[in-house]
Copies of this chain bind each other. A is one copy, B any other.
Amino acid sequence: MALLRRLALDREMAGSLQTQIAGQLKKLIQTGELSSGERLPSTRELSNSLQVSRNTVVAAYDMLVGQGYVEAQLRSGFQVCRATQAFRSLPVASKVTRERKQTPSQPGVPVPFRPTQPDVNLFSLQIWNRHRTRVLKRGSCLLHYQSRFPVGLDELRQNVAAYLRDSRGVQCQWHEVAITNGSQQALFLLANLLLKPGQRVYMEDPGYPGARNAWTHAGATVIPLPIDEEGICLPEGDSQCASLMYVTPSHQFPLGTCMSLARRLTLLRAARDAGSWIVEDDYDAEFRYSSSPQPSLQSLDENRRVIYIGSFSKTLFPALRLGYVVLPPPLVDSFAALKSIADDYSPLIDQATLASFLESGAFYAHLRRCRKQYAERQSYFLQLVSRFGLPLRFPITGRGMNLVGMLPGNFNDRVCSDRLRLAGLDVPPLSHYAVGPTPPGLLFGLAAFDNRAIQRGIARMAPVLQGKGMDRSE
């Protein structure tokens, strides 16, 4: 059979042999070299000719049957599907490769001291998978469409509500909790729901770029406000307020300031008087090492103007993409309707697994383990910084996954950060997070890096920070 000579396998190539065989046959069908109705060689013939196992050929034929190129004839092998003649009037795939070629890349692991990265190696996938197996045994419900649950499985919403009530003092009933794809989706949907183009949003400056992007994308005008040692500073004599205020009271991102009670009350009063919404992003409140557990801003709010958001990205692992928002009662239904239009609902198996993981207490055990490690890493880092005599000052320590290190006033933090990048370190400048001017500083993430990585990172950092040419005059 002439066809057999047209096929050649490249055993060095990526992709399985069966994919190669199927691919080559498909090309021949698309170009008409194998015409519709033509019989294919038997699986035995082809496996002999190509020197591959017969199973490989069967699998390749199965792929072609699945894709409609080939049909199985009862007791007489395989033939090219009669409908494939349509391909000849169509542009074939090879015509299309004119545009720029792009090289695919692989996901990697964070480099020291990339901020806000949890140590995913502390997370026990084994325990997680045990919960996953358990919930999958409940039957097929978790595989079906469940469009009735746009804001999450009720059992997960209940467990999240209990967790937030207990650990953060959040005032909520379970049906006010909405599950989102990470907190970023909560920000995006809230922007979509609450903001009209031209409306004003107050944000701490420096602040979280992911939130700023959400507000800006909705057409809002973001007004950056300075931060003092008590937290965000509202404009004096501001009768107008903003439609929305976005704050990180427990642990300001990125500076680390904890908002004072007085400032919290000022904020709540302003929101009540102007009918504004406050979005409280409690992004890493779980990680306190020396200070007392600060309850959330939401817990102080008698008027339900605070929308509370958070995620499991930092407490479990980021790629999970499960976050939550606690909605004031008037927003519950409209948020659910929007989530439904946005993407129906979030993946169910992960939701049910998380519900079980929370219920079992495994979540709390994991948090404890992380808290202990992160605290140790933070103090080890600070110890080394001081031993190496690095020109860094850390005004706020003892909580969170990151630390802000302030540089001497004449340093240029962007230049610093660029040079650190050349040394293989990922340490963003404080000015990256700011719209207005900020004193020079660097943001260090410490949670994801063990003592050895911290030691190596600091050893690489020292010559850069102690070298010349870091000042603004550059």
A317 to chain B, nearest CB (A): 4
How does the 8 Å CB contact mask read for A285-322 relative to B, with 1 for contact and 0 for none?
A: 00010011111000110100000000001000111110
Q: How far is the CA of A105 from the CA of B344 in the complex (A)?
A: 18
Q: Which residues of B contact A95 (CB under 8 A)?
A: 171
B86 touches A295 (CB 8 A): yes
Per the 8 Å Cβ criterion, residues 111-160 of A in contact with B are 116-117, 120-121, 123, 125, 136, 139-146, 148-149, 153-155, 157-158
Q: Which residues of B contact A106 (CB under 8 A)?
A: 141, 154-155
Interface pick from A45-53, A173-181, A220-228, A453-461: A173-181
A329 to chain B, nearest CB (A): 6
- Determine if A365 is an interface residue (Cβ-Cβ < 8 Å): yes
Copies of this chain in the oligomer = 2
Q: Which residues of B contact A63 (CB under 8 A)?
A: 361, 364
- Determine if A258 is an interface residue (Cβ-Cβ < 8 Å): no
- Determine if A107 is an interface residue (Cβ-Cβ < 8 Å): yes
Interface pick from A11-19, A267-275, A412-420, A432-440: A11-19
The 8 Å CB contact of A65, one of B210, B329, B368, is B368
Interface of A is mostly: helix
- Determine if A202 is an interface residue (Cβ-Cβ < 8 Å): no
A60 to chain B, nearest CB (A): 8
A80 to chain B, nearest CB (A): 12
How does the 8 Å CB contact mask read for A352-395 relative to B, with 1 for contact and 0 for none?
A: 00000001110111011001000000000000000000000000
A114 to chain B, nearest CB (A): 9
B321 touches A367 (CB 8 A): no
A29 to chain B, nearest CB (A): 10
A393 to chain B, nearest CB (A): 27
B167 touches A68 (CB 8 A): yes
Q: Which residues of B contact A471 (CB under 8 A)?
A: none
A213's closest neighbor in chain B, by CB?
B341
Per the 8 Å Cβ criterion, residues 73-126 of A in contact with B are 81-84, 86-87, 90-91, 93, 95-97, 99, 101-102, 104-110, 116-117, 120-121, 123, 125
- Most B CB within 10 A of own CB, among A102, A107, A125, A155: A107
Q: How far is the CA of A277 from the CA of B339 in the complex (A)?
A: 25
Q: Which residues of B contact A166 (CB under 8 A)?
A: 23, 26, 67, 93
Interface pick from A182-190, A239-247, A403-411: A182-190
- Determine if A342 is an interface residue (Cβ-Cβ < 8 Å): yes
A104 touches B346 (CB 8 A): no
| Given A104-B174, A110-B145, A342-B184, also A347-B361 (CB < 8 A) | no
B86 touches A346 (CB 8 A): no
Per the 8 Å Cβ criterion, residues 234-258 of A in contact with B are none
B107 touches A146 (CB 8 A): yes
A318's closest neighbor in chain B, by CB?
B145
| Given A86-B292, A91-B171, A146-B107, also A360-B16 (CB < 8 A) | yes
